[in-house]
A and B are shown apart, each in its own frame.
Chain A
Amino acid sequence: MWKTICLGVGLALIGTVGVADEKEATASDTGVVQADTTDAAKTDAATELQDVDLAAAKKIFSRSCRACHGNKAQGAASYPSLSDKEPTYIVERLERYRSGETIGPNSILMIQHAKKLSDEDIASLAVYVTTAFE
Protein backbone atom coordinates (compact mmCIF):
# COMPACT_ATOMS: atom_id res chain seq x y z
CA MET A 1 0.00 0.00 0.00
CA TRP A 2 2.99 2.30 0.28
CA LYS A 3 3.39 4.00 -3.04
CA THR A 4 6.44 5.85 -4.10
CA ILE A 5 5.92 9.05 -5.99
CA CYS A 6 8.63 10.77 -7.94
CA LEU A 7 9.53 14.37 -7.48
CA GLY A 8 12.48 16.22 -8.82
CA VAL A 9 14.00 18.19 -6.02
CA GLY A 10 17.13 20.20 -6.47
CA LEU A 11 18.34 19.49 -2.99
CA ALA A 12 21.88 20.52 -3.74
CA LEU A 13 20.66 23.86 -4.98
CA ILE A 14 18.76 24.86 -1.94
CA GLY A 15 20.20 27.89 -0.31
CA THR A 16 22.59 28.44 -3.20
CA VAL A 17 20.39 29.74 -5.95
CA GLY A 18 17.26 31.80 -6.08
CA VAL A 19 14.20 29.62 -6.11
CA ALA A 20 10.63 30.42 -6.87
CA ASP A 21 8.48 31.07 -3.85
CA GLU A 22 5.27 29.79 -5.29
CA LYS A 23 4.07 26.62 -3.70
CA GLU A 24 2.20 24.89 -6.43
CA ALA A 25 2.27 21.33 -5.28
CA THR A 26 -1.17 20.25 -4.23
CA ALA A 27 -0.67 16.62 -3.48
CA SER A 28 -3.82 16.41 -1.43
CA ASP A 29 -6.25 16.88 -4.28
CA THR A 30 -4.57 15.07 -7.10
CA GLY A 31 -1.98 12.45 -7.42
CA VAL A 32 1.59 12.72 -8.41
CA VAL A 33 3.92 15.56 -7.63
CA GLN A 34 6.70 16.41 -10.00
CA ALA A 35 9.21 19.14 -10.37
CA ASP A 36 8.24 21.89 -12.70
CA THR A 37 10.28 21.34 -15.80
CA THR A 38 10.49 25.07 -16.38
CA ASP A 39 12.24 25.63 -13.14
CA ALA A 40 15.73 26.94 -13.34
CA ALA A 41 16.79 24.09 -11.13
CA LYS A 42 16.27 21.65 -13.94
CA THR A 43 18.98 23.18 -15.98
CA ASP A 44 21.51 23.00 -13.23
CA ALA A 45 23.80 20.02 -13.19
CA ALA A 46 23.35 19.69 -9.45
CA THR A 47 19.68 18.80 -9.78
CA GLU A 48 18.92 15.29 -8.79
CA LEU A 49 15.82 13.24 -8.88
CA GLN A 50 14.44 12.37 -5.49
CA ASP A 51 11.80 9.86 -4.60
CA VAL A 52 9.04 11.52 -2.67
CA ASP A 53 7.23 8.90 -0.71
CA LEU A 54 4.29 10.61 0.92
CA ALA A 55 3.23 7.47 2.74
CA ALA A 56 6.64 7.19 4.31
CA ALA A 57 6.55 10.89 5.10
CA LYS A 58 3.20 10.52 6.79
CA LYS A 59 4.65 7.80 8.97
CA ILE A 60 7.66 9.91 9.92
CA PHE A 61 5.43 12.90 10.54
CA SER A 62 3.19 10.89 12.85
CA ARG A 63 6.12 9.50 14.78
CA SER A 64 8.49 12.44 14.92
CA CYS A 65 6.78 15.72 14.09
CA ARG A 66 3.12 15.90 15.05
CA ALA A 67 3.59 15.62 18.78
CA CYS A 68 5.09 19.09 18.81
CA HIS A 69 4.13 20.74 15.53
CA GLY A 70 0.50 19.69 15.72
CA ASN A 71 -1.71 17.11 14.08
CA LYS A 72 -2.03 19.21 10.91
CA ALA A 73 1.49 20.68 11.09
CA GLN A 74 -0.25 23.93 11.97
CA GLY A 75 2.06 24.69 14.86
CA ALA A 76 1.22 24.31 18.53
CA ALA A 77 2.44 25.58 21.86
CA SER A 78 5.91 27.02 21.30
CA TYR A 79 6.49 24.99 18.14
CA PRO A 80 6.17 26.71 14.77
CA SER A 81 3.76 25.95 11.97
CA LEU A 82 5.14 23.83 9.13
CA SER A 83 2.12 23.75 6.84
CA ASP A 84 2.48 27.39 5.88
CA LYS A 85 6.13 27.06 4.85
CA GLU A 86 7.66 26.37 1.47
CA PRO A 87 9.08 22.90 0.84
CA THR A 88 12.47 24.44 0.20
CA TYR A 89 12.43 26.06 3.63
CA ILE A 90 11.66 22.74 5.30
CA VAL A 91 14.43 21.00 3.38
CA GLU A 92 16.92 23.70 4.25
CA ARG A 93 16.09 23.69 7.95
CA LEU A 94 16.12 19.91 8.23
CA GLU A 95 19.49 19.72 6.49
CA ARG A 96 20.93 22.30 8.86
CA TYR A 97 19.52 20.52 11.89
CA ARG A 98 20.81 17.22 10.54
CA SER A 99 24.29 18.71 10.37
CA GLY A 100 23.99 19.54 14.06
CA GLU A 101 23.54 23.26 13.64
CA THR A 102 21.80 25.12 16.46
CA ILE A 103 19.14 27.44 15.12
CA GLY A 104 16.66 28.08 17.96
CA PRO A 105 15.83 27.06 21.53
CA ASN A 106 14.45 23.69 20.49
CA SER A 107 17.42 22.73 18.35
CA ILE A 108 18.34 19.81 20.59
CA LEU A 109 14.99 18.23 19.79
CA MET A 110 15.23 18.94 16.09
CA ILE A 111 18.80 17.72 15.73
CA GLN A 112 17.87 14.41 17.31
CA HIS A 113 15.05 13.84 14.87
CA ALA A 114 16.83 15.21 11.81
CA LYS A 115 19.92 13.09 12.32
CA LYS A 116 17.91 10.01 11.42
CA LEU A 117 16.63 11.39 8.12
CA SER A 118 17.93 10.54 4.67
CA ASP A 119 17.81 12.99 1.78
CA GLU A 120 14.78 11.11 0.55
CA ASP A 121 13.08 11.39 3.94
CA ILE A 122 13.71 15.13 4.02
CA ALA A 123 12.38 15.69 0.51
CA SER A 124 9.31 13.61 1.26
CA LEU A 125 8.62 15.34 4.57
CA ALA A 126 9.06 18.76 3.00
CA VAL A 127 6.35 18.04 0.47
CA TYR A 128 4.12 16.23 2.92
CA VAL A 129 3.99 18.85 5.67
CA THR A 130 3.45 21.69 3.23
CA THR A 131 0.73 20.06 1.17
CA ALA A 132 -1.09 17.33 3.07
CA PHE A 133 -3.15 19.61 5.29
CA GLU A 134 -4.33 22.23 2.84
Chain B
Amino acid sequence: MKFSVERSKPPVVAALLAGTSLLAAPVLAQDGMNTTKLTSEVVLDDLDNPWDMAFLEDGTMLFTEKCSGLSVLMPDGSVNALYGVGEAEGYPESGSDLFCEGQAGMMGVAFDPEFESNRRIYVYATSNMSDPHTNRLMRFTLSEDFSSVSDRTDIVDDVVYKMAASDHPFGGPGAHNGGRVRFGPDGALYLTTGDTHNSEVPQSPTMMGSKVLRIDTDGNAHPDNAPPEGFDKRTYTYGHRNVQGLAFHPETGAAITAEHGPWHSDEITILENGGNAGWDPRPNMAGRGDCPDDYCGYSPNQAEGMNRYERAAFMPMTDFETYPDAMPPIWNNNGWSQGTSSAAFLSGEQWGDWDGAMVVGIMGIGFGGTPIGQRIDVIQFNDEYNDVYDVTEMTLPMDPGRFRSVVSGPDGSLYTSIDEGTIYKLTPGN
Protein backbone atom coordinates (compact mmCIF):
# COMPACT_ATOMS: atom_id res chain seq x y z
CA MET B 1 0.00 0.00 0.00
CA LYS B 2 1.21 3.47 -0.78
CA PHE B 3 0.15 6.68 0.75
CA SER B 4 0.57 10.01 -0.89
CA VAL B 5 -0.32 13.47 0.13
CA GLU B 6 -2.62 15.95 -1.51
CA ARG B 7 -1.03 19.32 -1.04
CA SER B 8 -3.82 21.68 -1.96
CA LYS B 9 -5.90 21.23 1.19
CA PRO B 10 -5.61 23.40 4.30
CA PRO B 11 -2.91 22.36 6.73
CA VAL B 12 -5.28 20.80 9.20
CA VAL B 13 -2.85 18.13 10.21
CA ALA B 14 -0.04 20.57 10.65
CA ALA B 15 -2.20 22.47 13.09
CA LEU B 16 -3.18 19.31 14.87
CA LEU B 17 0.38 18.27 15.25
CA ALA B 18 1.82 21.64 16.12
CA GLY B 19 1.75 20.79 19.81
CA THR B 20 4.15 17.93 19.34
CA SER B 21 6.88 20.31 18.25
CA LEU B 22 6.97 21.51 21.84
CA LEU B 23 8.56 18.22 22.76
CA ALA B 24 11.81 19.30 21.27
CA ALA B 25 11.94 22.69 22.94
CA PRO B 26 14.78 22.70 25.46
CA VAL B 27 13.47 25.24 27.95
CA LEU B 28 9.87 25.89 28.86
CA ALA B 29 8.16 27.71 31.65
CA GLN B 30 4.59 27.73 32.78
CA ASP B 31 2.40 29.19 35.45
CA GLY B 32 1.21 26.23 37.47
CA MET B 33 -1.41 26.14 40.18
CA ASN B 34 0.81 24.18 42.53
CA THR B 35 2.98 25.38 45.35
CA THR B 36 5.94 25.77 43.10
CA LYS B 37 6.33 26.98 39.56
CA LEU B 38 8.76 24.92 37.59
CA THR B 39 10.92 25.30 34.55
CA SER B 40 12.37 22.37 32.66
CA GLU B 41 15.58 21.97 30.78
CA VAL B 42 16.68 19.04 28.66
CA VAL B 43 19.94 17.78 30.12
CA LEU B 44 20.43 14.90 27.68
CA ASP B 45 18.23 13.65 24.87
CA ASP B 46 18.11 10.75 22.43
CA LEU B 47 19.30 8.31 25.06
CA ASP B 48 18.51 4.60 25.02
CA ASN B 49 16.14 4.00 27.92
CA PRO B 50 17.96 6.03 30.57
CA TRP B 51 17.42 4.22 33.85
CA ASP B 52 19.22 5.99 36.69
CA MET B 53 21.49 8.88 37.55
CA ALA B 54 23.95 9.71 40.35
CA PHE B 55 25.62 13.05 41.12
CA LEU B 56 28.74 14.53 42.59
CA GLU B 57 28.63 17.95 44.23
CA ASP B 58 30.11 19.65 41.16
CA GLY B 59 27.28 18.35 38.96
CA THR B 60 29.13 15.41 37.45
CA MET B 61 26.38 12.92 36.60
CA LEU B 62 26.70 9.20 36.08
CA PHE B 63 23.84 7.75 34.06
CA THR B 64 22.87 4.32 32.81
CA GLU B 65 21.10 3.34 29.61
CA LYS B 66 19.40 -0.03 29.92
CA CYS B 67 20.68 -1.71 26.77
CA SER B 68 23.75 0.45 26.15
CA GLY B 69 25.73 1.05 29.30
CA LEU B 70 27.22 3.48 31.78
CA SER B 71 28.34 7.00 30.93
CA VAL B 72 29.23 10.19 32.75
CA LEU B 73 28.15 13.74 31.97
CA MET B 74 30.90 16.14 32.98
CA PRO B 75 30.26 19.66 34.33
CA ASP B 76 31.49 21.11 31.02
CA GLY B 77 28.73 19.26 29.17
CA SER B 78 30.88 16.55 27.62
CA VAL B 79 29.87 12.91 27.93
CA ASN B 80 32.28 10.03 28.45
CA ALA B 81 31.06 6.53 27.70
CA LEU B 82 32.48 4.22 30.36
CA TYR B 83 31.22 0.64 30.37
CA GLY B 84 29.02 -1.03 27.77
CA VAL B 85 26.37 -3.71 27.92
CA GLY B 86 27.53 -6.69 25.83
CA GLU B 87 28.26 -5.65 22.28
CA ALA B 88 26.98 -2.09 22.61
CA GLU B 89 29.12 0.24 20.53
CA GLY B 90 30.98 3.32 21.63
CA TYR B 91 32.27 2.20 25.00
CA PRO B 92 35.98 1.91 25.78
CA GLU B 93 35.25 -1.22 27.77
CA SER B 94 32.27 -3.54 28.03
CA GLY B 95 30.99 -6.39 30.09
CA SER B 96 30.67 -9.21 27.57
CA ASP B 97 28.45 -10.99 30.08
CA LEU B 98 26.01 -8.10 30.39
CA PHE B 99 22.82 -8.12 28.35
CA CYS B 100 19.37 -6.59 28.23
CA GLU B 101 16.11 -8.46 27.86
CA GLY B 102 12.64 -7.14 28.55
CA GLN B 103 12.82 -5.12 31.76
CA ALA B 104 16.36 -6.30 32.51
CA GLY B 105 19.63 -4.64 31.58
CA MET B 106 21.76 -1.93 33.16
CA MET B 107 19.78 -0.26 35.93
CA GLY B 108 20.76 1.54 39.14
CA VAL B 109 23.97 3.48 39.74
CA ALA B 110 25.56 5.17 42.74
CA PHE B 111 28.70 7.04 43.75
CA ASP B 112 30.49 5.85 46.86
CA PRO B 113 30.06 8.42 49.68
CA GLU B 114 33.88 8.36 49.90
CA PHE B 115 34.29 8.72 46.16
CA GLU B 116 36.72 11.63 46.43
CA SER B 117 39.21 9.35 48.12
CA ASN B 118 38.38 5.89 46.75
CA ARG B 119 36.96 6.63 43.23
CA ARG B 120 34.41 3.84 43.62
CA ILE B 121 31.07 3.60 41.86
CA TYR B 122 28.37 0.90 41.85
CA VAL B 123 26.21 -0.33 38.99
CA TYR B 124 23.45 -2.96 38.90
CA ALA B 125 23.08 -4.96 35.70
CA THR B 126 21.92 -8.27 34.28
CA SER B 127 24.62 -10.84 33.51
CA ASN B 128 24.80 -14.21 31.80
CA MET B 129 28.00 -15.19 33.60
CA SER B 130 25.98 -17.62 35.74
CA ASP B 131 23.37 -20.11 34.62
CA PRO B 132 20.60 -19.43 35.32
CA HIS B 133 21.52 -15.80 34.69
CA THR B 134 21.52 -13.29 37.51
CA ASN B 135 21.43 -9.61 38.26
CA ARG B 136 24.67 -8.33 39.69
CA LEU B 137 25.82 -5.32 41.64
CA MET B 138 29.22 -4.34 40.30
CA ARG B 139 31.81 -2.08 41.89
CA PHE B 140 34.22 -0.15 39.70
CA THR B 141 37.04 2.31 40.13
CA LEU B 142 36.52 5.44 38.04
CA SER B 143 39.69 7.00 36.64
CA GLU B 144 40.86 10.42 37.79
CA ASP B 145 39.91 11.96 34.46
CA PHE B 146 36.49 10.26 34.40
CA SER B 147 37.29 8.57 31.10
CA SER B 148 37.35 4.90 32.09
CA VAL B 149 36.45 2.37 34.75
CA SER B 150 38.51 -0.52 36.05
CA ASP B 151 38.65 -3.14 38.80
CA ARG B 152 35.19 -4.58 38.21
CA THR B 153 34.19 -6.52 41.29
CA ASP B 154 30.76 -8.16 41.45
CA ILE B 155 29.91 -7.57 45.09
CA VAL B 156 26.44 -9.15 44.66
CA ASP B 157 26.19 -11.84 41.99
CA ASP B 158 23.09 -13.81 42.92
CA VAL B 159 19.99 -11.68 42.47
CA VAL B 160 17.48 -13.89 40.68
CA TYR B 161 16.61 -13.32 37.01
CA LYS B 162 13.60 -14.53 35.02
CA MET B 163 14.96 -16.83 32.32
CA ALA B 164 11.85 -17.87 30.41
CA ALA B 165 8.58 -16.31 29.33
CA SER B 166 5.46 -17.12 31.33
CA ASP B 167 1.74 -16.78 30.89
CA HIS B 168 1.37 -13.38 32.47
CA PRO B 169 1.05 -9.77 31.44
CA PHE B 170 4.54 -8.38 30.82
CA GLY B 171 5.34 -12.10 30.82
CA GLY B 172 8.57 -12.05 28.82
CA PRO B 173 11.97 -13.02 30.21
CA GLY B 174 13.71 -10.44 32.34
CA ALA B 175 10.68 -9.26 34.32
CA HIS B 176 10.85 -7.69 37.81
CA ASN B 177 14.47 -7.08 38.68
CA GLY B 178 14.01 -4.14 41.05
CA GLY B 179 17.16 -2.20 40.35
CA ARG B 180 17.68 0.90 42.49
CA VAL B 181 21.08 1.34 44.14
CA ARG B 182 21.44 3.93 46.89
CA PHE B 183 23.62 4.75 49.88
CA GLY B 184 21.72 5.48 53.05
CA PRO B 185 22.56 8.11 55.64
CA ASP B 186 23.95 5.21 57.68
CA GLY B 187 26.66 4.83 55.06
CA ALA B 188 25.34 1.40 54.02
CA LEU B 189 24.66 0.37 50.45
CA TYR B 190 21.07 -0.56 49.62
CA LEU B 191 19.90 -2.55 46.59
CA THR B 192 16.28 -3.21 45.66
CA THR B 193 15.24 -6.39 43.84
CA GLY B 194 12.09 -7.93 42.32
CA ASP B 195 10.08 -11.13 42.29
CA THR B 196 10.87 -12.27 38.70
CA HIS B 197 7.29 -13.56 38.33
CA ASN B 198 8.30 -16.44 40.61
CA SER B 199 5.86 -16.90 43.46
CA GLU B 200 8.47 -18.56 45.69
CA VAL B 201 10.81 -15.59 45.63
CA PRO B 202 9.12 -12.90 47.77
CA GLN B 203 8.94 -14.90 51.01
CA SER B 204 12.03 -17.02 50.29
CA PRO B 205 14.70 -16.67 52.96
CA THR B 206 17.50 -17.33 50.51
CA MET B 207 16.52 -16.22 46.99
CA MET B 208 17.59 -12.60 46.77
CA GLY B 209 14.68 -11.28 44.74
CA SER B 210 11.87 -9.23 46.31
CA LYS B 211 14.31 -7.90 48.90
CA VAL B 212 15.92 -4.69 49.93
CA LEU B 213 19.53 -5.64 50.61
CA ARG B 214 21.65 -3.63 53.04
CA ILE B 215 25.32 -4.36 52.60
CA ASP B 216 28.79 -2.89 52.77
CA THR B 217 30.79 -1.99 49.70
CA ASP B 218 32.28 -5.46 49.54
CA GLY B 219 28.81 -7.01 49.45
CA ASN B 220 28.79 -8.25 53.03
CA ALA B 221 25.64 -8.08 55.12
CA HIS B 222 25.24 -5.02 57.32
CA PRO B 223 25.86 -6.27 60.88
CA ASP B 224 22.64 -4.73 62.17
CA ASN B 225 20.33 -6.38 59.62
CA ALA B 226 17.60 -8.23 61.49
CA PRO B 227 15.71 -10.52 59.10
CA PRO B 228 13.92 -13.60 60.49
CA GLU B 229 16.00 -16.60 61.41
CA GLY B 230 17.23 -18.54 58.44
CA PHE B 231 17.22 -15.56 56.10
CA ASP B 232 20.21 -14.44 54.10
CA LYS B 233 21.76 -11.84 56.37
CA ARG B 234 22.02 -9.31 53.57
CA THR B 235 18.23 -8.95 53.83
CA TYR B 236 17.06 -5.62 55.23
CA THR B 237 13.42 -6.18 54.19
CA TYR B 238 11.67 -8.88 52.15
CA GLY B 239 8.26 -9.74 50.70
CA HIS B 240 8.39 -6.98 48.10
CA ARG B 241 7.03 -7.22 44.58
CA ASN B 242 9.31 -5.07 42.43
CA VAL B 243 10.94 -2.12 44.15
CA GLN B 244 12.35 0.52 41.84
CA GLY B 245 12.02 3.50 44.19
CA LEU B 246 14.21 4.01 47.25
CA ALA B 247 14.88 7.21 49.15
CA PHE B 248 15.80 8.16 52.70
CA HIS B 249 13.81 10.61 54.78
CA PRO B 250 15.98 13.68 55.41
CA GLU B 251 14.84 14.02 59.03
CA THR B 252 14.52 10.43 60.23
CA GLY B 253 16.91 8.68 57.87
CA ALA B 254 14.29 5.98 57.31
CA ALA B 255 14.57 4.00 54.10
CA ILE B 256 11.35 4.45 52.12
CA THR B 257 10.38 2.41 49.09
CA ALA B 258 8.09 3.20 46.17
CA GLU B 259 6.94 0.04 44.49
CA HIS B 260 5.01 -1.20 41.47
CA GLY B 261 1.66 -2.75 42.34
CA PRO B 262 0.08 -5.75 40.58
CA TRP B 263 -2.59 -3.89 38.57
CA HIS B 264 -3.64 -2.34 41.82
CA SER B 265 -2.04 -0.64 44.79
CA ASP B 266 1.29 0.93 44.00
CA GLU B 267 2.81 1.42 47.42
CA ILE B 268 5.06 3.69 49.41
CA THR B 269 6.36 1.97 52.53
CA ILE B 270 8.57 3.15 55.37
CA LEU B 271 10.88 0.21 55.86
CA GLU B 272 11.50 -1.49 59.18
CA ASN B 273 14.67 -3.46 59.67
CA GLY B 274 13.83 -7.12 59.05
CA GLY B 275 10.31 -6.26 57.93
CA ASN B 276 8.05 -8.16 55.57
CA ALA B 277 6.30 -6.13 52.88
CA GLY B 278 3.63 -8.85 52.67
CA TRP B 279 3.70 -9.78 48.98
CA ASP B 280 3.12 -13.50 48.54
CA PRO B 281 1.66 -14.48 45.16
CA ARG B 282 1.84 -18.25 45.69
CA PRO B 283 -1.08 -20.36 44.47
CA ASN B 284 -3.14 -22.57 46.77
CA MET B 285 -2.92 -20.33 49.79
CA ALA B 286 -4.71 -17.29 51.22
CA GLY B 287 -7.96 -18.45 49.64
CA ARG B 288 -6.50 -18.88 46.16
CA GLY B 289 -6.40 -21.96 43.95
CA ASP B 290 -4.14 -22.61 41.01
CA CYS B 291 -2.84 -19.68 39.01
CA PRO B 292 -1.19 -19.38 35.57
CA ASP B 293 2.35 -20.73 35.72
CA ASP B 294 2.16 -20.93 39.51
CA TYR B 295 2.13 -17.16 39.99
CA CYS B 296 -1.02 -15.39 41.18
CA GLY B 297 0.43 -11.92 40.83
CA TYR B 298 -2.12 -10.82 38.24
CA SER B 299 -4.98 -13.08 39.29
CA PRO B 300 -7.89 -13.57 39.48
CA ASN B 301 -8.38 -12.04 36.07
CA GLN B 302 -5.15 -11.28 34.29
CA ALA B 303 -6.58 -10.70 30.83
CA GLU B 304 -9.37 -8.25 31.62
CA GLY B 305 -9.88 -5.10 33.60
CA MET B 306 -11.72 -5.42 36.88
CA ASN B 307 -12.37 -3.40 40.00
CA ARG B 308 -9.06 -2.70 41.68
CA TYR B 309 -10.39 -3.28 45.18
CA GLU B 310 -11.72 -6.70 44.17
CA ARG B 311 -8.29 -7.44 42.81
CA ALA B 312 -6.68 -6.28 46.04
CA ALA B 313 -8.99 -8.51 48.08
CA PHE B 314 -8.03 -11.56 46.06
CA MET B 315 -4.29 -10.90 45.70
CA PRO B 316 -3.27 -8.19 48.16
CA MET B 317 -0.11 -6.20 47.65
CA THR B 318 0.35 -6.34 51.43
CA ASP B 319 -1.32 -9.46 52.83
CA PHE B 320 -2.16 -8.55 56.42
CA GLU B 321 -4.30 -11.66 56.88
CA THR B 322 -1.39 -13.98 56.24
CA TYR B 323 1.22 -11.62 57.66
CA PRO B 324 -0.38 -9.45 60.39
CA ASP B 325 2.96 -7.85 61.17
CA ALA B 326 3.66 -6.81 57.59
CA MET B 327 4.94 -3.28 57.11
CA PRO B 328 1.92 -1.12 56.32
CA PRO B 329 2.08 1.07 53.24
CA ILE B 330 1.52 4.77 53.82
CA TRP B 331 0.21 5.38 50.28
CA ASN B 332 -1.40 3.06 47.77
CA ASN B 333 -2.02 5.39 44.84
CA ASN B 334 -5.77 5.36 45.43
CA GLY B 335 -5.71 1.65 44.77
CA TRP B 336 -4.32 2.07 41.27
CA SER B 337 -1.22 0.58 39.72
CA GLN B 338 0.31 3.05 37.31
CA GLY B 339 3.99 2.15 37.18
CA THR B 340 5.36 3.88 40.28
CA SER B 341 9.06 3.58 39.73
CA SER B 342 11.28 5.95 41.65
CA ALA B 343 11.55 8.19 44.67
CA ALA B 344 13.64 11.11 45.90
CA PHE B 345 13.41 13.95 48.39
CA LEU B 346 13.36 17.60 47.39
CA SER B 347 15.76 19.81 49.26
CA GLY B 348 16.16 23.54 49.59
CA GLU B 349 14.16 26.69 50.24
CA GLN B 350 13.63 27.15 46.53
CA TRP B 351 11.02 24.41 46.75
CA GLY B 352 8.87 26.41 49.15
CA ASP B 353 6.36 24.19 50.92
CA TRP B 354 7.81 21.23 49.06
CA ASP B 355 11.20 21.53 50.75
CA GLY B 356 11.76 18.14 52.35
CA ALA B 357 8.88 16.48 50.50
CA MET B 358 9.23 13.19 48.68
CA VAL B 359 8.63 12.91 44.96
CA VAL B 360 7.73 9.74 43.10
CA GLY B 361 8.01 9.19 39.37
CA ILE B 362 5.12 7.35 37.77
CA MET B 363 5.50 5.82 34.32
CA GLY B 364 1.90 5.02 33.44
CA ILE B 365 0.37 1.79 32.23
CA GLY B 366 -3.31 2.31 31.47
CA PHE B 367 -4.71 -1.20 31.51
CA GLY B 368 -8.33 -2.21 31.93
CA GLY B 369 -9.73 1.21 32.68
CA THR B 370 -6.85 2.39 34.85
CA PRO B 371 -6.00 6.04 34.20
CA ILE B 372 -2.52 6.17 32.70
CA GLY B 373 -1.26 8.56 35.32
CA GLN B 374 2.13 9.55 33.90
CA ARG B 375 3.24 12.13 36.42
CA ILE B 376 5.44 13.12 39.31
CA ASP B 377 3.65 13.19 42.65
CA VAL B 378 4.82 15.24 45.61
CA ILE B 379 4.32 13.37 48.87
CA GLN B 380 4.33 15.54 51.98
CA PHE B 381 4.75 13.79 55.31
CA ASN B 382 3.06 14.53 58.61
CA ASP B 383 4.89 16.17 61.51
CA GLU B 384 5.96 12.79 62.85
CA TYR B 385 7.31 11.79 59.42
CA ASN B 386 5.54 8.46 59.68
CA ASP B 387 2.58 8.97 57.36
CA VAL B 388 1.46 10.82 54.28
CA TYR B 389 -0.07 14.21 54.99
CA ASP B 390 -0.78 15.40 51.48
CA VAL B 391 -0.20 14.43 47.87
CA THR B 392 0.09 16.94 45.04
CA GLU B 393 0.63 16.20 41.40
CA MET B 394 3.36 18.37 39.93
CA THR B 395 2.16 20.59 37.16
CA LEU B 396 4.89 19.77 34.72
CA PRO B 397 6.47 22.38 32.48
CA MET B 398 6.99 19.76 29.78
CA ASP B 399 5.11 16.83 28.32
CA PRO B 400 4.86 13.82 30.62
CA GLY B 401 6.68 10.57 29.87
CA ARG B 402 7.60 7.30 31.48
CA PHE B 403 9.26 8.75 34.59
CA ARG B 404 11.72 5.98 35.36
CA SER B 405 13.96 7.93 37.67
CA VAL B 406 13.82 10.99 39.90
CA VAL B 407 17.04 12.19 41.54
CA SER B 408 17.76 15.36 43.50
CA GLY B 409 20.78 17.14 42.09
CA PRO B 410 23.48 18.99 44.02
CA ASP B 411 22.14 22.25 42.58
CA GLY B 412 18.78 21.74 44.29
CA SER B 413 17.01 20.89 41.05
CA LEU B 414 15.12 17.66 40.48
CA TYR B 415 16.45 15.51 37.67
CA THR B 416 14.16 12.98 36.02
CA SER B 417 14.70 10.51 33.23
CA ILE B 418 11.99 9.11 31.01
CA ASP B 419 12.23 5.81 29.16
CA GLU B 420 11.63 7.68 25.93
CA GLY B 421 15.23 8.87 26.12
CA THR B 422 15.38 12.24 27.86
CA ILE B 423 16.85 13.43 31.13
CA TYR B 424 15.22 16.65 32.33
CA LYS B 425 16.16 19.13 34.99
CA LEU B 426 13.21 20.63 36.86
CA THR B 427 13.92 23.85 38.68
CA PRO B 428 11.55 25.94 40.83
CA GLY B 429 10.83 29.46 39.65
CA ASN B 430 10.09 31.12 36.37
Contact = CB atoms under 8 A, between A and B. Distances in A.
A132 B366 contact: no
B2 A39 contact: yes
Interface of A: 3, 5, 7, 9-10, 13-14, 19-20, 22-36, 38-39, 41, 54-55, 58, 63-64, 66-68, 70-72, 74, 76-78, 87-88, 104-106, 108-109, 111-112, 127, 132-133
Top 5 A-B pairs ranked by shortest CB distance? A105-B172, A25-B3, A67-B364, A36-B2, A76-B419
B11 A30 contact: yes
A67 B402 contact: yes
Interface centre among B16, B49, B66, B302 (most CB of A within 10 A): B16
Interface stretch (B30-38, B229-237, B367-375): B367-375
A105 B3 contact: no
B170 A54 contact: no
Contact of B304 (A3, A25, A112, A127): A112
A2 B201 CA distance: 50
B1 A14 contact: yes
Q: How large is the interface on B (under 10, 10 to 19, 20 to 34, 35 or more residues)?
A: 35 or more
Interface of B: 1-7, 9-14, 16-17, 20, 23, 49, 66, 102-103, 165, 168-174, 302-305, 339, 363-368, 372, 374, 399-402, 404, 418-421
Nearest to B400: A71
A14 B1 CA distance: 8
Given A30-B11, A109-B169, 11 more contacts: A25-B4, A27-B17, A33-B6, A67-B365, A67-B402, A76-B418, A77-B363, A77-B402, A105-B170, A108-B168, A109-B367
Contacts of B5: 24-27, 30-34
Contact of B165 (A36, A64, A105): A105
A132 B21 CA distance: 10
20 contacts: A14-B1, A24-B2, A28-B13, A28-B17, A31-B12, A32-B9, A32-B13, A35-B2, A58-B16, A63-B372, A67-B366, A68-B402, A70-B420, A71-B400, A77-B49, A78-B170, A78-B174, A104-B172, A105-B165, A109-B170
Prevailing SS type, chain B contact patch:
loop
B14 A7 contact: no
Contacts, number: 162
A9 B364 CA distance: 32
Contacts of A33: 3-6, 13
A30 B1 contact: no
